[in-house]
Amino acid sequence: MRVTLLGAGAWGTALAVHAAKYLPAGDICLWSRSMQQLEEMKRAGRNSAYLPEIDLPVHLQFEDDLETAILRLSEDDLLVIATPMSALAEMVKQVLKIAQHPLNIVWLCKGLEPHTALLPNQVVERENQLHSHGLTHAFGALSGPSFAREVALGMPCALTVASKSPTLCADVQAAFHHGNMRIYASDDLVGVELGGAIKNILAIAAGISDGLDLGLNARAAVLTRGLAEMMRLVKAAGGRPETCMGLTGAGDLILTATGDLSRNRRVGLELAAGKPLTHILGGLGHVAEGVLCAQAVGSLAIRLEVDMPITTMMGEVLSGNVTPHEAVKQLMGRDPKLEV
Ligand SMILES: NC(=O)C1=CN([C@@H]2O[C@H](COP(=O)(O)OP(=O)(O)OC[C@H]3O[C@@H](n4cnc5c(N)ncnc54)[C@H](O)[C@@H]3O)[C@@H](O)[C@H]2O)C=CC1
Ligand SMILES: O=C(CO)COP(=O)(O)O
């Protein structure tokens, strides 16, 4: 099976490194919009901008031409969109315009579209309505607890692919379920995608809690009540709340909110230290999706009439309307209620 990954950031590169260990030489192709980055990866055998410590497999193919990267795939192969959420719509549009036969397309991004509050699969469906030229592609999301660095080092990891197409799920398993990576399948795209978006916002909250030295009890409270918010929104949006107890919900929440490799958690820690958000983001060198989708999740919650106090408060902190200290005070000052 051939795999093309679009986007050579930390996660796209790590998955390419993993797959290249198990699929025949030349089957894995990594595309980047940056010719300079590709040249550097070829020359140095490393992705110094996004995954500096990892040696890239020698038989990993690099491609800067999007058409070539897509047209090398047959109907049985797999296309992985590995860009951040902000690039998903444009990326999918370009893919659909280039495709000459049905493709299996899976995306890795975790977030919502900021101005529409659409989930990734809804963004893809919108573009598909406009640009599919009558071809019937299969779509899905691959998500779950997975720091790129650990995956690239070959450490154990379990993920979930969510799709309405069992064939696409099987293709993703054929590509990535090898060695130290397990891939589970689900048909709950809404549950999987909302879990991935909300856990990033909660990781910022956990970072703030830890950065302010509020203690381990406080962090457990943030995560548990945050998980309750996630389950409520998933249910209201038509997903299954129990998906939130799996890898893409609780699993990724535990990882991101407690693991210091998380960019979102780091944003929270640095906000608590009083650094301005623009300064923090400038220093990250990577995307922190929770920052970009907190307002969108808040507006989706309002539209679906779901109470999400922690998530909504993070939107206020990230907008600069409320300080981290004031956010804690307001959340702790809420009226008593049933634990639902
Ligand atoms: N890094 C990780 O451990 C994991 C990341 N993810 C998710 O995967 C997505 C990508 O994350 P990372 O690779 O870590 O991000 P990153 O910040 O390391 O890299 C982003 C990559 O996307 C490219 N890109 C940005 N805008 C683009 C555009 N308009 N067109 C083409 N390429 C574009 C950048 O050039 C860069 O190569 C995010 O949504 C993230 O939440 C999911 C699981 C693990
Ligand atoms: O999604 C991730 C791990 O599953 C990566 O989290 P960060 O984007 O916070 O680093």
Which atom of ligand 2 sits closest to the CA of residue 289? Answer: 8
State yes or no: pLDDT of 133 exceeds 90. no
Q: Please give the Cα distance from 257 to 311 (Å, whole number).
A: 14
Buried b (16+ CB within 10 A) or exposed e, 267-289: bbbbbbeeeebeebbeeeeebbb
Q: How many Å is the Cα radius of gyration of the chain?
A: 20
**Paired tokens of 167:** 């064939």
Per residue in 48-94, pLDDT (tens digit) is 999 999 999 999 999 999 999 999 999 999 999 999 999 999 999 99
Angle formed at CA 50 by CA 84 and CA 147, multiple of 5 degrees: 70
Query: Which positions are catalytic?
Result: 199
Question: Was 144 annotated as part of a binding site?
Answer: yes
The tokens for 88 are 């998903």
Pocket test for ligand 1, best of 11, 204, 255, 291 (most atoms within 8 A of CB): 11
pLDDT tens across 94-131, in order?
999 999 999 999 999 999 999 999 999 999 999 999 99
The per-residue pLDDT for 178 is: 98
Local confidence band at 288 (pLDDT 50, 70, 90 cut-offs): very high
Q: Which residues contact 296 (CB under 8 A, 6 or more apart)?
A: 111, 112, 113, 114, 115, 116, 117
Task: Say how far residue 4 (Cα) sits from the centre of its chain.
Answer: 18
Structure tokens at 169: 């799920």
Residue 112 and residue 233: Cα distance in Å, rounded?
Answer: 13
Is 10 marked as binding a ligand? yes
Q: Name which of 231, 237, 236, 193 is nearest 311 in CA terms.
A: 231
Closest ligand, as measured to the CA of 200: 2
Distance 258 CA to ligand 2 centre (A): 11
User: Which domains does the chain possess?
Assistant: 3-187 (3.40.50.720), 191-333 (1.10.1040.10)
- Residue 161 parent element (H or E): strand 157-162
How many CB atoms are located within 10 Å of the residue 235 CB? Answer: 18
Mean pLDDT of the chain: 97
Ligand 1 centroid, distance to 287 Cα (angstroms): 6
- Cβ–ligand 2 distance for 147 under 6 Å, the answer yes
Evaluate whether 292 touches 264 at the Cβ level (below 8 Å).
Answer: no
263 lines ligand 2 (CB under 6 A): yes
Q: In what order do the strands lie in the sheet with 3-6?
A: 61-63, 28-31, 3-6, 78-81, 104-107, 138-143, 157-162, 181-186
Q: What pLDDT does 30 receive?
A: 98
pLDDT of the residue at 84: 98
Query: How much distance in Å is there from the Cα of 120 to the middle of ligand 2?
Result: 16
Tens-place pLDDT, residues 36-47: 999 999 999 999
Angle between helix 88-98 and helix 120-131 axes, rounded to 10 deg: 30
Structure confidence at residue 208 (pLDDT) = 98
Task: Single out the residue of 221, 194, 189, 188 nearest to residue 309, CA to CA.
Answer: 221
Q: How far apart are CA 293 and CA 85, in angstroms?
A: 9
Confidence label for 176 from pLDDT (cuts 50, 70 and 90): very high
Q: Per-residue confidence at 269, pLDDT binned at 50, 70, 90? A: very high
pTM, 2 dp: 0.98
Nearest CA owner, ligand 1 atom 19: 9
Q: How far is the CA of 9 from the centre of ligand 1 (A)?
A: 5
Residue in 79, 85, 108 to alter for ligand 1 test, most ligand atoms within 8 A of Cβ: 108
On the 0-12 / 13-18 / 19+ scale of CB atoms within 10 A, 10 is buried
% of the chain beyond a pLDDT of 70: 100
pLDDT greater than 90 at residue 308:
yes
Whether pLDDT at 317 is above 90? yes
Taking the CA of 81 as reference, the closest ligand is 1
**For residues 248 and 78, what is the distance between their CA atoms, to the nearest angstrom?**
21
